[in-house]
Structure 1
Amino acid sequence: MSSVQYGKLNDSQIKRWLADSSSREFRDHRYPELRLRAISKRGRASVHLILPSDGKTAWKKQGNWPSLCLKTLVNDLPKRLAKVAAGEVVNSAELVTVSDLLNWYVGHIQSNTTLSKSWRRNCKSMSKTHLHPRLGDVLLSQLDFITVDTELVKTMLADEYAPHYIRLTANVLKRALSTACDLRLLSQDPLAGYRVQLSLTLPPEIDAPLSEADLNALFSSLKSANKPCNMLFMLMIMFGSRIDETRLAKWSHFAGEYWSIPALDTKTKQAHRLPLTGAAKGLLRVYKRWQLKHIGKREYLFAGDRSEVVSIRTVQYWSESIRFKYFTSHALRKLCRTIIADMGVDTMVGERILNHALPLLLRTYVRTSLDSGMLRALNDYHMYLIDKGCAELNRAGEQGDEQKSAGL
């Protein structure tokens, strides 16, 4: 039997070809530039535009039937062929549906290390969980404000997703469209000017800051947590570090008198050094002994069951488990900064402890004085935490005073 079947390019003929024939390809004599190939156990077919390229034949995928509307494609075919004749590259032919766009964008950002891992991971998750199922089959040529409102925003509201989460999901789609336009894969952005606020009213962000009055409850909650959870959030409280750069901490980062955070792990993409106080060294020493005894030797402080480092989802679960009231992990960082400021620590020193960006010339010029200022500030701050009832840190501080060793 021939590997090619000819017929009219319409839905009924395609259904019959996929169901009754074993031929791999389908063509229509009227449109020699279009080819269909059976895929997925003959439940779908990929649609290709056949174009000349450097003396050879290039196959440009247009999408998958039945998601791709064949009538729309055929009507648009003369324009595409005219662009080819004029020497234009028809890259946009590969981005026909929203699913095509999302697949391209997720692949495009996966190797882009200038974007945070969490952003890339969230984009992939939101695309798979929400955007593909709700908008995937929509043609980019038919995508508009009302489609996003009815098919994405309204359906997510009906499924009881938070408005701010819906905004983040819609922004992934907007970012994909704007990137495709910037790279000339699309000629125009159908959602240019769209904001989720056009479809719903966003409530104010929940702001439940922690204060000094919450320290006893916080320490009590951490005391009842598992050891890695306790250690991770103790480091965040002690140094005001971000949750992801703390999660990725390796034992090799704690060499000598400093905790050195690589640029790749920081939000600012600048390497950061934090002086280690005696209390911090003691706490790390105790935790390392615990890890060696109960888990074994590991490269990371927070090792996962099936991977080298614990996943961000597990850490987020830890964050929820220590809540005695609603607050985010970022609230620990804010609390550290607030207490340091109330203690009278110089503003620039406080900014450096939290690794807020400073002008390059200023960072270089005052590095020595900043390092000594950071150590004094952290020593005073850690003593303050001990005075406020952090018994575990108190024990670690006593061990640090007894053992004047830089090694862990």
Structure 2
Amino acid sequence: MASGVEVGKLKRAPLRRWLSGGVTRDYRDPQYPTVRLRANGERTKASIFLVFNEQNVTRWRKVGTWPDLCIDTFLEQLPATLAERAAGGEVMFGQFVTVADVVTWYAGHVADNTTMSVSWRRNVRSIVTRHLIPRAGQLPLASLSWSDLDSALVKSMLADGYSPRYVVEVVSKLKTAFSSAAGLRLLDSNPLAGFKPSVRLPKALDARLYDSDLGELFKLLSETVMVQAMLFVLMMMFGTRINETRQARWDQFTGDVWVIPPSNTKNGNELRLPLTKSARALIDHYRRWQLANVGKRAWLFPGRGQAPIAVRTAQDWSVGLRFKYFTSHDIRRLFRTIIAEIGIDTVIGELLLNHSLPVLLRTYVQSSLNAGVSQALEQYHQYLIERGFNQIAPEIIPRSHSDLGNGQSQMASGWL
């Protein structure tokens, strides 16, 4: 948006012409020197500010949004507002009166920000609606104390059994909301700058998975219901993230490749994963099982309506899979560790994990190492088979590799 200030009358017609003109960012009327309007990015609305000089510092205090706030009504009330401020009254927070006002604004502010991942924006909305508003939303900004906030939010969440790490995450989102509002001059200052919750985080747990854990992991997966086991089997076979895997569609498996579109990946780059013989057999068997037991679906892991399972559902499945403390992402870390230990080229490993690579290196990989990616997955899948992968899906593994295991388990029986 262009910078600069347009001078005119604070009337509806001139303001509409200014917004539609798209030339200057700010608007002022010499008759009202303390009032300034600033257009939003789409030039559909304008924030109304009171601008003061206090101790040689210019301060902007938002008091509303035009045309949501009638400009005529605002100007009628302006003398009383300025008189109230001169007498020490609070006008600095404008439309923000409580904590709920700030966090509600922030959830809307990031809702359409495509530079942030969809899952992150959903997490913000969930935290705002489930915790911040019910627990601390009623606290007034004008007299907000850290002690009251800590009691209303932190101590109440701990008392309700939430983990200290999750409480810290919730507080972090709250502080980000206030910091963003202050950065955009919607708050005169950030009342939470420096706030630290009264939480002592536990020592980090050994959340890693090791090669020696494969047997136990295979055993658990073989006893898990088909749909849940398949999610983590795919993650194990390809090192994909849980959010990428849960959104897998049948039309993304074309020929001998699984194509994960940019919209589903963390870095926004398309990921093309070659399907080994074992992977193709696994996916074909799962497709037949889904048709017979669930019906035809667009998604490998269908949820409610025309959508895949929610990320929270996938995470809940992950918790049910634990035989020691680890997260779903540790399956991806184990994938990376194993392919390094069996001698897979580092660049190929980074390509399989869809880590961002320099442009020149990415070009080199695409032109020279595509065959190496397929060979790497063949080598890695053979490594899994030799360590008992047949426990999960015995009918897709050549019988010569090892014993078939228990064909009556929930996962294995589904392949028969």
TM-score, normalising length: structure 2:
0.72
> Counterpart amino acid of 2:111?
Q
Describe the SS at the equivalent of 1:274: strand
Q: Is the 8 A contact 2:249 2:299 kept in 1?
A: yes
Write the distance in 1 (CA, Å) between the matches of 2:240 and 2:249: 14
Describe the SS at the equivalent of 1:268: coil
Write the distance in 2 (CA, Å) between the matches of 1:51 and 1:289: 56
- Residues 56/385 of structure 1: CA separation in 2 closer, same or farther (3 Å cut): closer
Matching of residues 157-236 of structure 1 within 5 Å: 157-196=158-197, 199-236=198-235
- Residues 349/394 of structure 1: CA separation in 2 closer, same or farther (3 Å cut): farther
Following superposition, the deviation at residue 308 of structure 1 comes to 2.4
Matching of residues 354-365 of structure 1 within 5 Å: 354-365=353-364
Write the distance in 2 (CA, Å) between the matches of 1:227 and 1:58: 64
- Residues 93/279 of structure 1: CA separation in 2 closer, same or farther (3 Å cut): same
Structure 2 residue aligned with 1:396: 396
Write the distance in 2 (CA, Å) between the matches of 1:92 and 1:55: 15
Structure 2 residue aligned with 1:272: 271
Matching of residues 110-129 of structure 1 within 5 Å: 110-129=111-130
Write the distance in 1 (CA, Å) between the matches of 2:213 and 2:285: 25
Describe the SS at the equivalent of 2:94: helix
Describe the SS at the equivalent of 2:307: coil
Residue range with higher mean Cα deviation, 109-118 or 345-354: 109-118
* CA displacement 1:141-198 (0-9 Å, x = unmatched): 32343333232222222223211111100011111111212222222111123333xx
Instruction: Work out whether 1:262 is the aligned partner of 2:261.
Output: yes
- Residues 106/233 of structure 1: CA separation in 2 closer, same or farther (3 Å cut): same
Following superposition, the deviation at residue 291 of structure 1 comes to 1.0
Q: Is the 8 A contact 2:244 2:264 kept in 1?
A: yes
Describe the SS at the equivalent of 1:366: helix
Following superposition, the deviation at residue 118 of structure 1 comes to 2.1
Following superposition, the deviation at residue 398 of structure 1 comes to 4.2
Structure 2 residue aligned with 1:328: 327
> Aligned-residue CA RMSD in angstroms?
3.0
Describe the SS at the equivalent of 2:369: helix
- Residues 223/94 of structure 1: CA separation in 2 closer, same or farther (3 Å cut): same
Residue range with higher mean Cα deviation, 377-386 or 151-160: 151-160
Residue range with higher mean Cα deviation, 148-157 or 327-336: 148-157
Describe the SS at the equivalent of 2:142: helix
Q: Is the 8 A contact 1:51 1:58 kept in 2?
A: no
- Residues 329/59 of structure 1: CA separation in 2 closer, same or farther (3 Å cut): farther
Structure 1 residue aligned with 2:289: 290
* CA displacement 1:375-404 (0-9 Å, x = unmatched): 1111000001111011145632549xxxxx
Structure 2 residue aligned with 1:353: 352
Q: Is the 8 A contact 1:50 1:59 kept in 2?
A: no
Describe the SS at the equivalent of 2:149: helix
Q: Is the 8 A contact 1:178 1:189 kept in 2?
A: yes
Structure 1 residue aligned with 2:82: 78
Describe the SS at the equivalent of 1:94: coil
> Counterpart amino acid of 1:149?
D
Following superposition, the deviation at residue 106 of structure 1 comes to 1.3
Q: How many residues align?
A: 330
> Counterpart amino acid of 2:186?
L
Matching of residues 61-76 of structure 1 within 5 Å: none
Q: Is the 8 A contact 2:218 2:388 kept in 1?
A: yes
Instruction: Work out whether 1:149 is the aligned partner of 2:150.
Output: yes
> Counterpart amino acid of 2:137?
G
Write the distance in 2 (CA, Å) between the matches of 1:225 and 1:274: 25
Following superposition, the deviation at residue 54 of structure 1 comes to 12
Following superposition, the deviation at residue 59 of structure 1 comes to 6.8
Following superposition, the deviation at residue 80 of structure 1 comes to 7.9
Following superposition, the deviation at residue 296 of structure 1 comes to 1.5
Structure 2 residue aligned with 1:252: 251
- Residues 55/269 of structure 1: CA separation in 2 closer, same or farther (3 Å cut): closer
Structure 2 residue aligned with 1:373: 372
- Residues 265/133 of structure 1: CA separation in 2 closer, same or farther (3 Å cut): same
Write the distance in 2 (CA, Å) between the matches of 1:377 and 1:161: 42
Following superposition, the deviation at residue 55 of structure 1 comes to 12
Describe the SS at the equivalent of 1:160: coil
Q: State the percentage of identical aligned residues.
A: 46
Q: Which runs of 5+ in 1 are unaligned?
A: 1-48, 61-73, 83-89, 400-408
Residue range with higher mean Cα deviation, 120-129 or 94-103: 120-129
Matching of residues 94-133 of structure 1 within 5 Å: 94-133=95-134
Describe the SS at the equivalent of 1:143: coil
Q: Is the 8 A contact 1:52 1:58 kept in 2?
A: no
Residue range with higher mean Cα deviation, 331-340 or 141-150: 141-150
Following superposition, the deviation at residue 114 of structure 1 comes to 2.3
Q: Is the 8 A contact 2:93 2:186 kept in 1?
A: yes
TM-score, normalising length: structure 1:
0.74
